[in-house]
Amino acid sequence: MQPIEKTAQELDMFQKIAEHEQVLFCNDPATGLKAIIAIHDTTLGPGLGGTRMYPYESVEAALTDALRLSEGMTYKCAAADIDFGGAKGVIIGDPKTDKTSALFRSYGQYVESLNGRFYTGTDMGTTMDDFVHATKETNFINGIPEAYGGGGDSSIPTSRGVIYGIEATNAFLFGNGELTGKTYALQGLGKVGYKVAQQLLEAGANLYVTDLNEDAVTRILKEAENQDGNVEVVDSDAIYETDADIFIPCAMGGGINEETIHKLTVKAVVGSANNQLETDDDGERLHEKGILYAPDYIVNMGGLIQVADELYGPDKERVLLKVKAIKDTLLHVYEQSQTEGISTIKAANLNCEKRLEEQMHRNNFFTRKRRPKWEIKE
């Protein structure tokens, strides 16, 4: 048999997914489903990560997002000290117009085909009700409504984790964790961002906010009328240049980059958005500029904690106790960064990689006997 010659484009694709264990392309013309499931690393256990729906401009853009998000989930699971690995799903489509029950049932069949290597639930652009349809085809779904035996809205513990992250940051920077008397620039008023804004207003904080959803902006302005805190609306570019104490990114990833870092005058960045840093170098840029960065996969792991915990039987009190640990985890990273003179993202990554390396030496069904990328020297 003659060896198969790969084109340059095919080689680029394989190189792009080289750090991932498995990438599954899901195509069902009957329902219109076009999706990608990326499983990054199952050293700690089966892959766990939400599925987002977004009108990506290309398959390439969707794949890039899936790969970055799934790698981030590996670190998030390690930081949360749960027995799951990193994975993520993306569905290509407009969540406002392209959703159908048949599409999510079809997606559920693809999840089922992975035979337990991938657990998933809601993310940006998807809801708990969407995945009720998927549960008709697979049991590997979590983050579903309480009426169906799930833990309910995962944005609640996620937003609470952001508040704990802000409190830890305030304690490290200012000597106390009080939210009152500070000003925050909040980018994004989605499922998590809106709840963060509510809690900050209740604490008497002052906010700059921006969001493309005018209804969300109107609602938060109305809520501010009955709170001690104030809200000022700014456009999407101006949010980076406000005179806030802390910048809170709760929208799409990649918003912290070389260009926007130059604009920032805040003392810290603490938010729920996944993959806030466009590149790892941006974490170093923040460090060099003296801006304290709370690694996103620590701050936003409240939702992950809930969906992972749900598999043992929903328990809100137990989840909130685990979410509270975000504060101590973040303080440890800050102190390690300060002591060793390294960026906070490097400190956080080192801690996660240590746990992954330790687990590789244990007898784990899902462990792949390979050298992790952080051990490979160029």
Task: Decide if 88 is catalytic.
Answer: yes
CB 253 within 8 A of CB 276: yes
Neighbour-count burial for 264-295, b at 16+ CB within 10 Å, e otherwise: bebbbbbbbbbbbbbeeebbbbbbeeebbbbb
The token pair that represents 208 in the structure block: 């700059």
List helix spans (H) across 205-315. Answer: 214-224, 258-263, 280-289, 296-299, 302-310
| Secondary structure of residue 277 in the 3-state scheme | strand
How far, in whole angstroms, is CA 17 from its chain's centroid? Answer: 20
Neighbours of 207 (CB within 10 A): 24
Catalytic residue among 34, 76, 88, 195: 88
- Written as six digits, the tokens of 251 are 């929208």
Q: Which residues of 53-72 are buried (b: 16+ CB within 10 A; e: fewer)?
A: bbebeeeeebbebbbbbbbb
Amino acid (1-letter code) at residue 307: V
**What CA dihedral angle connects 29, 30, 34 and 36, to 10 degrees?**
-110
Q: Which residues are catalytic?
A: 88
